[in-house]
Structure formats: C-alpha cells, structure tokens
Amino acid sequence: MLELFLCSMLTIFPDFLFRRFVQGKRLGQEINLFSVWFELRWGITLCLILTLSLITTIFYFHPSTKAASSVFRTVTVLPERSGRVAETYVEINQRVTAGQPLFRLDSTEQEAAIETARRKIAEIEASMIVARSQLAEADGRIVQARGMLEQATDEFKARSEVQKRSPGSVAERDVERARVQVETQQGALDAAQASREAVVSEIEFKLPAQKASAEAALREAQIALDKSLVVAGTDGVVQQFALRPGDVVNPMLRPAGILVPERRVTGLLAGFGQIEASVLKVGMIGEVTCIAKPWQIIPVVVTEVQDVIASGQVRPTDQLVDVQQFARPGTLTVILEPLYKGQLDDLPQGGNCIANTYTNNHEALADPDLGGLHRFGLHAIDTVGLVHAMILRMQALLLPVQTLVLGGH
C-alpha cells in the first residue's frame, strides 16, 4: 500500500493535474467515477508498472523474512541404562546446576555386584595369606630335604670309602642302596624347591592377577552403581519432568524429561528465500522487531550465511530418492546478531521476529570510474531501502494489535 501511494504521487497525481488544469477537465464532470480509467489511464498504467518494479526492487535488494527466531538447544534427560525409578530430587520447571542429582534408579542388582566383588577381593587376600604360610612350609621342607640329602650323601661317601679301602668288608648291595638313597633325597629336594617356586609364582603372579581382575570387576560394578544416579550435565531448567518412584525409564524408548540450558540470546536464525542468495552477504546491516519486544526496532548484522539449503539433503537409505521430492524450495539460513551487545538479552529463547536486511552500495559508489547511470541506479537501490524500513516500523506498530485484537487472543 505504501509503495502504491508513493508511485501514485509520481504518476496518477501529475496525470490528474494535467487533465484538470491544462485540459480544463473538471472533477465530477468530465472526470468522474465512470471515466476515471479513460481519463487517467496513462497515470494508472504507469503507477502499476512503477509499483510492481518498486516492490520487486525493494524485496530483492533489501530482503525480508518473518521466519526469524532465537533458536536454542535442549538436553534430553536420559539414564545410561534402563531401570525403575527409586527416588526423584527435582520437580517441573526447577532450576538446576551442573552436577545436581535429578533422580535415582533402583540399584539393588548393582549393590549386590559390588558386594560380590568385595567378597572376591577378600577371598583373594585370604588366599595370599595362606600362600605365604605355604611358602614358609615349602622353605621348611627344602631345609628338611637338604638335610636328609646331606645325611644320605655322607652315608654313601662313607660306605664307598670303606669299600675302596677294604673290598668285601661292605656289601655291594649296601653301597648301591646308599647311592639310591642319595638320588631319592635329591629328588625330594628338587620337588620341595619346585613346590616353593609354584607357591612363589602364585603369590607374585596368579593371586595379584586375580585380585586385579576382582578390583576391575569392583570398579565396573561401582560405575554401574554410579549410573543409577542421573545428574544435570549443565545449568538450566528442567522441563516436562514427570517421573515418580516406580516409573520405568529406557534410554531408547522413554526419556525422563528435557533440560533447557541457561544462556542469553546472542543471535537469531533467519530463513530467507533462495532468490536472495546472491544479495545476502556477511556484514549486511539489518533490523528486527520481535513479538516478545513490541514497538522496538533492534539493529542487527549478518554474521554468517549458510552455504547449504536443508531441503536438498540426502540420507543413505535402501531406496533411491526421487528428485521430485526436492521440488519445494527451502530457505537460506542466515545468522543475525545484534549490532550492540545486550539488546537481545531479555528476548525469550525461541522468540519469533520479523527481520529486514539492507543492501549497502557505499563502497561501490566510491569507485571514481563508475558510470553516471550505474551510480544513479545504486543510489536508487539504497534509497528505496527507506521504504522497507518504514514498512518494518509499521509492522512493529501494528504487531500488538494484530496479535491481541485481530488474532483473537
């Protein structure tokens, strides 16, 4: 409407003045309701052409969108294992800090596993004490076997010496029996030493390995027990939390609630039409007005223009994707941040806004080699941005009325 009014002042109004004062046609006589098209046909036609051109120029070089929002992320409250809720510590809409307990699952099985692992460790420690006693016993057997070996060796040497000095004085069978006794006692000594080595190996290798395995099982059971207590991963507000003792939660099928992290709104995510992809650039100045901040115009700047459009994404599936599914054009995602810090701090997360961005040809106009016609066109493009700024202010003025009165709220 504003564009039509401005264009009519340059076309229809001069045409009327020419008809009225140059041709002498009178309003209500020659110019009336039935003859207005014939009398003002040139002004009306030029007005429509100029209006369409002006609207196209404004919306192309100064993009606008109603799809601007202060998006935010949520954290799903999920346990790392399935289980039955034993106790809850928070309520809906409660503010929590990182590490604060939210709820606890039944941990009877995990506590039993911890007790079993502790008993296993105690059993292994008792086995170590017994093994040390067995080591002392093996040392005693070695001393005993060594003494008996020395005794048998002395006996064998004595009989062999007598046999050499006085052949026949000692029976050959007794000498052989003494030699066999030496070998027997040597075998007993070797067996005692091997038994001691086995006990030492058990003390130094087997039992420590068993204890380490039991301690690892204890740590695993303790970790499983710790997973029974679900805590907040970040500061925020708990939403949709309706758990009660006895409810069953599952990390795959049934989450416990949603945690909305606390943060201030530092920027807006806006979706512009694809036709404006060549116009939107990083550094463009814009303005936004938000439903949650009525009658306020906030200057913003484009900090990022996403180089992909979500509607064209393809996921690997077992079916070929028909290109016809991409017929609906997606939007170009643009990130807008306030030009001055703190201007969006009180905007609720998820708030909707109307955004305008303005093309600035100041650097291009500074080129001394720029032609006159080209320079005039760039000046015209920058100037018509004022119309879009006026439209945004009218929208900001009427937004509360449209929402509260005309919207039926």
CB atoms within 10 A of CB 46: 17
The domain defined by 62-71+263-311+327-409 folds into: Elongation Factor Tu (Ef-tu); domain 3 (2.40.30)
pLDDT at 174: 67
∠ CA 22-27-30, rounded to 5°: 80
pLDDT at 306: 86
Q: Which of 289, 301, 8 is nearest to 16 (CA)?
A: 8
The answer to whether the CB of 243 falls within 8 A of the CB of 90 is no
Token readout for 319 is 């079916």
Among 219, 282, 260, which Cα is nearest to 349's? 260
**Domain extent listing, the chain:** 1-59, 62-71+263-311+327-409, 75-106+228-261, 108-226
Residue 382 sits at the vertex; the CA angle it makes with 380 and 384, to the nearest 5 degrees, is 65
Give burial (CB, 10 Å; 0-12/13-18/19+) of 96.
buried
What pLDDT is attached to residue 354? 92
Residue 344 DSSP label: T
Q: How many CB atoms lie within 10 A of CB 318?
A: 4
CATH class of the domain comprising 108-226: mainly alpha
DSSP code of residue 364: H
Alpha helix locations (H) across 62-102?
none
Task: In whole angstroms, give the CA distance from residue 329 to residue 309.
Answer: 9
pLDDT given at position 357: 92
| CB proximity list for 405: less than 8 A, separation 6 or greater | none
Q: Quote the pLDDT of residue 408.
A: 58
Reported residue count of the chain is 409
Domain 62-71+263-311+327-409 and domain 108-226, same fold? Reply is no
pLDDT tens track of the chain, all 409 residues? 666 767 777 677 777 777 767 777 777 676 766 666 667 778 778 888 888 888 888 888 889 999 899 888 888 888 888 888 888 888 888 899 888 999 988 888 888 988 999 999 899 888 888 888 888 887 788 788 778 877 777 776 776 776 677 666 666 776 677 777 777 877 887 887 888 888 888 888 888 888 899 899 999 988 888 888 888 888 888 888 888 888 888 877 778 888 888 877 778 899 998 888 888 899 899 999 998 888 899 999 999 998 887 777 777 777 777 777 776 778 888 999 998 888 888 888 888 999 999 988 888 888 888 888 888 888 888 888 888 888 888 888 888 888 787 765 5
- How far apart (Å, rounded) are the C-alpha atoms in residues 121 and 395? 74
- Class at the top of the CATH hierarchy for domain 75-106+228-261: mainly beta
Per-residue confidence (pLDDT) for residue 299, from 0 to 100: 93
- DSSP-assigned states of every residue in 97-112: -TT-EEEEE--HHHHH
What's the pLDDT score for residue 175? 65
Longest CA span, the chain: 174
The H helix count followed by the E strand count for the chain is: 9, 14
